[in-house]
Structure formats: structure tokens, C-alpha cells
């Protein structure tokens, strides 16, 4: 009989939600995390009385009432609505692409006029491809031009995407942008989901609620003493990099990562919005997050005299950096499938989450997945 029923490697949403469910079923769990804090990438740090999203903006959104009720049972979520703004050469445009954007771009005031403008530019892109003897988009640029036309592509997509991926849009595969949501209404709500918000008091309160009564240890590297950790539990829940788990047997998977530059400013409100994207390539960062807008509204905003921003720089991942986004191109997808075949043969190891499944996840689908697991 081993000391624990489950060793859970990683205290992000997958690991923490699994630990909560297992504890409720009377299982003894140990959660370890190599970082000095719990919560994975949703961890918040208190700076100037503001809950700073240390690993980038996290906005919870879902259509599943069960998931929404579940997270709200640990901490109340506020009414934050994600309404990003794009800054292109000093001009501001609302996101996602909607009637406000089209008015700002072309001065059109009706859905019919906006639709006609987009269709006109899409037809131009199609005509150019046909002139070049091409029937299917060969790259992301051609795909985007077919979906939205040149004005929005060149001002709001091209530079941002090239910074995000570190490659020219003509070198990126077309499938990265399968569709571009276009709304012919004056609505700046980025998400269509029924439920949306941020935990009042920050995401740490959600993680603390999930891990209440569970033994946790931070600053612990599973791979530094792997034999010991594998020997203390009946089963392992692994949320780290799947290629590292298998000693990079087939080679290393690739990621994109993000570098953050934090600044504190002596004013209560710097940019007037939580998220501002910088879509021209010449600006080195992809966006600026002003964290207080996630939780402070109206007069509350001004009562907090200082503000904290994070500039985000998208970069290639190298060993020692935090991996953020899987690079889901053909080469990496094929490699990840080989690792998945190994994982599927494991009887006492469960792989879950963005790094262990080499798959991009929003927060709500991760929770839904764990809630539906057979423990």
C-alpha cells in the first residue's frame, strides 16, 4: 500500500480540479509544483492592491452552467466583459470585428454597407489568387484576405500575427485562421458565451478553494527525484510537458512563449481598458494589459491611485523558458501523436492539460474535462 492514492504533478486548473474531485471521493492526494506558488498560469500576484495576472490575461468564459456554478461555488465571479481594443499607428479599433470596427475603418453605419465593403475586398483577393493560378489559399495571408479583405487584414491581423508567431504570414499555414468571427452588430463583447467574468479577489482564491484540505508542496521538481515521486502513489496525474515525461524519446515538441514587462504608473487609469492590442509590427510587444480593469469598475478604479501594466512579447521557446502555446503545425502534431500513443498505454498515469496533451485549452474546457472524468 503506497502513501498516496494520487500524486498530482502541477497545480494549475487541471491538477487542482482533479485534486478537489479525488479528495471528495476520499482519496489521499499530494500535489507538487516546481514553481514557488500554486495555480499554474492563472496565478495572481498582489501589487499595489491590484491582482496582477502574472502569466497573461485570463478571462473565464463558458456556456456550460454546470461549470459556471462549479467555479462560483468557490469564489464569486464578477461581471467583467472582455472588450479588447486594437491600436494601429495611434488609431483605435474595437475588437472583435463588429460594426464599431467597420465604422472606424470605413465610416459605414449599416450592416449592409459593411458587408458590401468586406465582400468587395474578398472578391479582390480571390481574383488575385485566380490570376496567380491558385485555387486554395497557400498560406495564412491568402486565407485571411479571403475571409476578411485587405484593410482589416493589413491593419489588425498581419503585424499582430507575425509578432505572435515570429514568422511572416506568407510562411504560416492557412489552417491557423480557419475562420474569422465577423459581427454585423454594435457589440464589443469578445466572447459569445453566456457566462463570463473574473474571480473577485483574483484567481488564487479559486485555486485555494479547489486545494483546500489537499497536501501541497511547491518548489518541487518531479524530474529531480523522479523515482521517489513515482514510488509514493498508486497513480500519477501529470500536467507537465509530455515529451519531457518520456525523456524526449522522439525529439522535443516546440512551443511559443511570452515574456512580460511589468510597469507601475503613478496614475489611476493609464489606457482605459484591460486589453489593448498593438497590431503594427514595428511595436515590439503584442499587447498591454492594465490589470485593475479586470476587477475595479467606476469609482473603485479611481480610489486605487496607481496602476500596473504588463507588456507582452511573444518569443520562440527555448529550454528553461515557460512553454505557453503548442505550435500545432504538421511536424509538431505528428510528433505529439507519437507521444500520445505512449501515454495511451499507461495504466497508472493520467495526462491532462495544455502541456501534457499538447493542445491549447481555455480554462472552462479544462474544468469540464476533469468534471467528466471517471475517477
163 inside domain: yes
Q: Measure the CA–CA gap between 105 and 124, rounded to whole angstroms.
A: 18
Q: Catalytic site residue 179?
A: yes
Name the 3-class secondary structure at 47: strand
Query: What sign does the CA torsion over 180, 184, 190, 195 have?
Result: negative
- 225 and 367 both lie in a single domain: yes
Task: Report the CATH number at residue 365.
Answer: 3.40.50.720
- 166 and 52 both lie in a single domain: no
333 inside domain: yes
65 inside domain: yes
Q: Measure the CA–CA gap between 147 and 118, rounded to whole angstroms.
A: 9
Closest CA to 203 of 5, 60, 70: 60
Residue 69: predicted pLDDT = 98
- 121 and 248 both lie in a single domain: no
Q: Measure the CA–CA gap between 52 and 155, rounded to whole angstroms.
A: 29
Q: Measure the CA–CA gap between 203 and 144, rounded to whole angstroms.
A: 35
Catalytic residue among 312, 354, 357, 358: 312
What 8-state DSSP symbol labels residue 13? H
Structurally, the chain folds into a number of domains equal to 2
130 inside domain: yes
- 12 and 56 both lie in a single domain: yes
Q: Catalytic site residue 362?
A: yes
- 111 and 170 both lie in a single domain: yes
- 223 and 108 both lie in a single domain: no
- SS3 labels along 328-344: CCHHHHHHHHHHHHHHH
269 inside domain: no
Q: Which of 176, 208, 224 marks a domain boundary?
A: 176
Catalytic residue among 136, 178, 179, 374: 179
Catalytic residue among 6, 287, 290, 357: 287
236 inside domain: yes
> pLDDT tens digits, residue range 94-148?
999 999 999 999 999 999 999 999 999 999 999 999 999 998 999 999 999 999 9
Q: Catalytic site residue 183?
A: yes
The C-alpha cell 481574383 sits at 127
Residue 38: predicted pLDDT = 98
Phi, psi of 321 (to 5 degrees): -90, 160
Q: Which of 176, 211, 245 marks a domain boundary?
A: 176
281 inside domain: no
Catalytic residue among 80, 141, 153, 183: 183
4 forms beta bridges with: 233
Q: Which of 145, 176, 207 marks a domain boundary?
A: 176
- 329 and 249 both lie in a single domain: yes
Give the CA count within 13 Å in the CB-facing half-sphere of 163.
21
The C-alpha cell 507601475 sits at 264
Residue 173: predicted pLDDT = 86
Domain that holds residue 59: 4-80+194-254+325-371
Q: Catalytic site residue 312?
A: yes
DSSP 229-293: HHHSEEEEEE-S-HHHHTTTTT-PPPEEEEEEEEEEESSS-SSSSSEEEE-STTSSSSEEEEGGG
Catalytic residue among 154, 221, 234, 362: 362
Which residues make Cβ contacts (< 8 Å) with residue 18, sequence separation at least 6? 6, 8, 237, 350, 352, 370, 373
Per-residue model confidence as pLDDT tens for the chain (375 residues): 899 999 999 999 999 999 999 999 999 999 999 999 999 999 999 999 999 999 999 999 999 999 999 999 999 999 999 999 999 999 999 999 999 999 999 999 999 999 999 999 999 999 999 999 998 999 999 999 999 999 999 999 999 999 998 889 999 889 888 878 899 999 999 999 999 999 999 999 999 999 999 999 999 999 999 999 999 999 999 999 999 999 999 999 999 899 999 999 999 999 999 999 999 999 999 999 999 999 999 999 999 999 999 999 998 888 888 898 898 788 999 999 999 999 999 999 999 999 999 999 999 999 999 999 998
Catalytic residue among 212, 259, 346, 360: 360
Catalytic residue among 151, 256, 285, 329: 256
Model pTM score: 0.94
Q: Catalytic site residue 256?
A: yes
Q: Measure the CA–CA gap between 48 and 307, rounded to whole angstroms.
A: 7
- 230 and 161 both lie in a single domain: no
> What are the grid coordinates assigned to 302, written together?
479611481
Q: Catalytic site residue 21?
A: no
Residue 176: predicted pLDDT = 85
Amino acid at each position: 500500500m503506497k502513501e498516496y492514492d494520487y500524486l498530482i504533478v502541477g497545480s494549475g486548473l487541471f491538477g487542482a480540479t482533479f485534486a478537489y474531485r479525488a479528495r471528495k471521493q476520499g482519496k489521499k492526494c499530494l500535489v507538487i509544483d516546481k514553481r514557488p506558488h500554486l495555480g499554474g498560469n492563472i496565478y495572481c500576484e498582489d501589487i499595489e492592491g491590484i491582482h496582477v495576472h502574472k502569466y497573461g490575461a485570463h478571462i473565464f468564459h463558458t456556456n456550460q452552467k454546470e461549470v459556471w456554478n462549479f467555479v462560483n461555488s468557490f469564489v464569486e465571479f464578477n461581471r467583467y466583459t472582455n472588450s479588447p481594443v486594437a491600436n494601429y499607428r495611434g488609431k483605435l479599433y474595437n475588437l472583435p470585428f463588429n460594426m464599431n470596427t467597420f465604422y472606424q475603418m470605413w465610416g459605414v453605419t449599416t450592416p449592409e454597407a459593411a458587408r458590401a465593403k468586406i465582400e468587395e475586398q474578398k472578391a479582390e483577393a480571390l481574383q488575385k489568387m485566380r490570376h496567380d493560378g491558385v485555387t486554395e489559399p497557400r498560406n495564412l495571408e491568402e486565407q485571411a484576405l479571403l475571409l476578411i479583405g485587405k484593410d482589416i487584414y493589413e491593419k489588425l491581423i498581419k503585424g499582430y500575427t507575425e509578432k505572435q508567431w515570429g514568422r511572416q504570414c506568407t510562411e504560416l499555414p492557412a489552417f491557423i485562421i480557419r475562420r474569422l468571427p465577423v459581427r454585423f452588430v454594435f457589440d464589443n463583447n469578445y466572447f459569445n458565451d453566456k457566462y463570463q467574468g473574473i474571480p473577485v479577489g483574483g484567481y488564487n482564491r479559486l485555486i485555494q478553494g479547489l486545494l483546500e484540505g489537499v497536501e501541497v508542496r511547491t518548489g518541487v521538481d518531479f524530474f529531480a527525484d523522479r523515482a521517489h515521486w513515482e514510488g509514493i502513489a498508486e497513480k500519477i496525474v501529470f500536467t507537465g510537458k509530455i515529451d519531457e515525461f518520456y525523456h524526449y524519446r522522439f525529439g522535443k515538441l516546440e512551443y511559443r512563449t511570452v515574456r512580460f514587462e511589468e510597469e507601475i504608473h503613478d496614475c489611476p487609469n493609464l489606457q482605459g481598458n484591460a486589453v489593448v492590442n498593438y497590431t503594427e509590427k514595428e511595436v515590439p510587444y503584442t499587447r498591454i494589459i492594465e490589470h485593475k480593469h479586470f476587477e475595479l469598475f467606476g469609482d473603485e478604479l479611481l480610489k486605487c491611485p496607481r496602476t500596473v501594466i504588463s507588456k507582452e512579447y511573444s518569443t520562440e521557446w527555448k529550454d528553461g523558458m515557460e512553454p505557453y502555446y503548442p505550435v500545432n503545425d504538421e511536424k509538431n502534431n505528428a510528433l505529439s501523436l507519437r507521444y500520445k500513443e505512449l501515454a495511451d498505454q499507461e495504466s497508472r498515469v493520467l495526462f491532462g492539460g495544455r502541456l501534457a496533451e499538447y493542445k491549447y485549452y481555455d480554462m472552462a474546457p479544462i474544468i469540464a474535462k476533469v468534471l467528466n472524468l471517471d475517477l
